[in-house]
Structure 1
Amino acid sequence: MPQPSKDIAMNLHFETPLMESRPLSVLAGRSIWLKLDALQLPGSFKIRGIGHACAVYQSQGAQRFVSSSGGNAGLAVAYAGRRLGVPVTVVVPETTTERAKELLRLEGAEVVVHGSSWQEANQFAQTLLGPTDAFLHPFDDPLLWHGHATMIDEVAQANLKPDAVVLSVGGGGLLSGVVEGLQRNQWHDVPVLAVETEGAASFHAAVQAGYTVELERISSVATSLGAKRVCEQALRCAHEHPIQSLVVSDHSSLAACERFLADHRILVEPACGAALSVVYDQAPVLASYSKVLVIVCGGATATIDQIRTWAGQLDKS
């Protein structure tokens, strides 16, 4: 498979800060390290894998990128397309926020609204593909996992080997990439704490069943975790690497977003708040580890007003 030049691939994402959080370390009574991928220019870790995939597809002759995500993946495709000089079409469901559509258009993407769910938008996106188009899946593509793994490469290069990694799981792309990164750095003994919110826990359901299952619906406010079925690779990772599946509440996730903003002046969306809530709520699972790495995956479409609105709605329910 042709590979993009290293310069092009690396220019689409940058090495993000790795820092020990004093507020979280004091709270948790152990060393909490943060990989701050929320600082990537499109707003999330997604640009690592999607940028890599876009560069590969361009090197294979792709003349347009097509995506089916109104969230972080779509924004990463739009950003990569603009940087690489390739037109981008993003199909989003009717539930996509105006802010998300505005951000996509700001990157120069054509935005097509279709269907009431990501699944319907994704099916329609497939019908748009021509012979010189490349489809960018939000999470289920080995090129994405390979790109996401670079965040663990950066941690290894900093000579920080954690006792455990905490991350959020949606479709399973981040989980698959982090496990690839751990294994290619010979960190087979570093467990992953994979966190989802109630109402969006497709990975937890797959682990329990032993095979991927489709949720009837997504009822969590953490819509970036809203894949009804996790990718098969995520379940394979659970068989090949020590992974513990955790499920937290929307309330905990939203509260973690507020607290993280106060502690570190960085706003993340509820999907990222799910991972942070494990530390903020001092989950018993952390007792076994003295040095914990949290992947702060980010999120560009949430605002603090929206987070507070969701929290207020939960309080009333």
Structure 2
Amino acid sequence: IELALAELAIAELHFHVNTPLLESVSMSKMAGTAVYLKMENCQPSGSFKIRGVGHLCQQVGAPSLCGNAGMAAAYVARKMGLPATVVVPSSTPALVVRRLQEQGAAVKVAGKVWDDANAEALRLAETEQLTFVPPFDHPLLWEGHASVVAEAAAALGPGARPGAVLLSVGGGGLLCGVVRGLKDAGWADVPVIAMETVGADCFNAAIKAGELVTLDDITSEAKCLGAKTVCRRAFELSQSGEATIISELVTDQEALRAVQMFLDEERVLVEMACGAALAAVYSGLIPRLQAQGRRPPHFLLLSLLGHLLLYTQ
């Protein structure tokens, strides 16, 4: 009975927190529309990843994965009393490795980019009987990430309706989760603007090619966007008509400038992956889309380190 109760408690536990929704006056002035920030940097693991990874880890055993998802998995595993092996590429900063170890995870460095580390994680899962938790390509991850839209809808209140969602894309997990969340909220027709940096643009490349594309290398400094191939579900969403997705690119310089401006104006330091979404405001992309008739007026919602932006009519 005690074991059953413990399992029930874990199943009902939410590892993520309901993050604040804050208005940015300075970004609103620059965008020509009210901008709201969904502060996903306030999550226990530092990014939106805890939503999907926490949800998935409730269904599986010891995780083995990398990046911001690895930090989330290490946190969740510690809370659940499970061992965790996190595989990271050599581009991972030493500080991140140390933080993973402080969470109690075993850390293995493999390869240059995320795809190399992912291949090693899959090998370890098979040879050492570990349960593999993918960082972005799993329906349970998307189900967990959808909670960020549900929270936004609750915070905005009855009658508020998004005009668009702007987010960064790496492997596509957040995109898939947001599309699901929009459907759950009754906002299925809300367009999504998907931002990437040049050199980490597997989603944009797939849309242009009309099929999944594997990049030769990741040359962008936005390492958390550094998947060589976007997940198939994200690509299918861009092609099927289930969601309206607008894919846009910014340079590393534009993303970095956005990070610096955001630090100056909001006193919050974020990584370049988040800067890709911020650059949509700071580089003038939002007014350009409006001039082209590709986005409605009114207000935006931005999540930090979760790379999510949304605006409504």
Q: Cα 1:5–1:147, aligned 2, differ >3 Å: closer, same or farther? A: farther
1:276 equivalent in alignment to 2:278: yes
Q: Partner of 1:31 in structure 2?
A: 34
1:134 counterpart = 2:137: no
Q: Which of residues 130, 151, 163 is equivalent to 2:148? A: 151
Amino acid of the structure 2 residue aligned with 1:102: R
Decide whether the 8 Å contact of 1:39 with 1:298 is kept in 2. no
Q: 1:120/1:7 Cα in 2 relative to 1: closer, same or farther (>3 Å)?
A: closer
Q: How many residues align?
A: 289
CA apart distance, 1:226: 0.8
Quick one: distance in 1 between partners of 2:14 and 2:183? 25
Equivalent of 1:50, from 45, 50, 53? 53
**Helix, strand or coil for the counterpart of 1:20?**
strand
Q: Within 1, Cα distance between the matches of 2:274 and 2:13?
A: 24
When residues 209 and 39 of structure 1 are mapped into structure 2, their CA distance, relative to the original with a 3 A threshold, is same
CA contact (8 A) 1:35 1:293 kept: no
2:102 is equivalent to residue 106 of structure 1:
yes
Report the Cα distance in structure 2 between the residues aligned to 1:107 and 1:199, rounded to whole angstroms: 31
- The letter for the 1-side match of 2:42 is L
Deviation at 1:106, TM superposition (A): 1.2
TM-score (norm 2): 0.87
Instruction: Please say which of residues 81-90 and 112-121 is displaced more in the overlay.
Output: 112-121
Secondary structure in structure 1 of the residue aligned to 2:215: coil
SS in 2 for 1:112: strand
Q: What does residue 265 of structure 1 align with?
A: 267
SS at match of 1:135: coil
1:180-227 alpha-carbon deviations (Å, 9 max, x no partner): 100111102211100000111111011111111101111101011111
Deviations 1:251-279 (A, max 9, x none): 11011111112222221100001001111
- Aligned twin of 1:124: 120
Q: 2:74–2:104: 8 Å Cα contact kept in structure 1? A: yes
Runs of 4+ in 1 over 4 A off after TM superposition: 4-10
Q: How far, CA to CA, are the matches of 1:250 and 1:152 in structure 2?
A: 28
Q: Which amino acid aligns with 2:113?
A: S
In the other structure, the counterpart of 1:298 is 305
SS in 2 for 1:123: helix
- Return 5+ residue gaps in structure 2 as ranges: 1-6, 307-313
Secondary structure at 2:131 match in 1? strand
**Matched residue, 2:250:** 248
Runs (5+) with no aligned partner, structure 1: 300-317
Is the counterpart of residue 234 in structure 1 residue 231 in structure 2? no
For residue 289 of structure 2, what is the aligned residue in structure 1?
A: 285
What amino acid sits opposite 1:182 in the alignment? L
What is the identity, as a one-letter code, of the residue corresponding to 2:289? V
Displacement after TM superposition at 1:117 (Å)? 2.8
2:108 alignment partner, SS class: strand
SS of the aligned residue for 2:144 comes to: helix
Superposition deviation, residue 292 in structure 1: 3.8
Q: Name the CA shift for 1:10/1:285 in 2 (closer, same or farther; >3 Å).
A: farther
What TM-score comes out, normalization by structure 1 length? 0.86
